[in-house]
Every structure is written in structure tokens, then in C-alpha cells.
Amino acid sequence: MDEHKLIRERERGEKAKRLLENELLVEAWTNIEEKLMVEWRATGPDEMPRREDCWRTLRLLNKLESVFKTHIERGEIAVKMIATVEEDAKRKRFHVV
């Protein structure tokens, strides 16, 4: 992977981390999850479509969080790879044959 792609991965990871740490997003996310769980638990045996809608929405929230976490992980990997590329370049500059 070239350095430009690594830099983009790092930046995407940083953005994803900022989003997941944003207090308004965390508050909204938690609020939605709590309301869905309350609604899900309150469904009766004859309310399967409503219960399934709650479950699907909760799964979607989990998948969305997973996407952000994947970007964070890729960004962290990119940071390490950038450091390796920079170290290699530094060694080559000072390597005397």
C-alpha cells in the first residue's frame, strides 16, 4: 500500500474515533439503544413484527459501530505502517555503501 493510501486510512481512522467519542453521538446512540430495548421487552407474544423491527434496528446500530471500529483499527495499522516506511526511508538516507 502506498504512503498516500496509508495516510488516508489513518485520517479515516482518526475521524471514526472522533465520531465514536463525540458526546452527542454517544448520548444519542445510547438513548436509541435504551428505547429500543425497552420497546422490545414490552412487546407481547402477538407483536412479532414490532419485536423484529426493534431487533433489526439494534443489529443495524451494532453493525454501524463495527464499521467505525474497523476504520479505527485500520487507521492504527496505517500509523504503524507509516512509521515503518519513514524508518526505512531514514535508514536508506543514512546508509553508506
Model confidence, pTM? 0.81
Whether the Cβ atoms of residue 72 and residue 20 lie closer than 8 Å to each other: yes
Spacing of C-alpha 38 from chain mean position: 26
Higher pLDDT, 85 or 48: 48
User: Residue 12 in 3-state DSSP?
Assistant: helix
What is the DSSP code (8-state) at residue 3?
A: H
Tens digits of residue pLDDT in 8-45 = 999 999 999 999 999 999 999 999 999 999 999 999 99
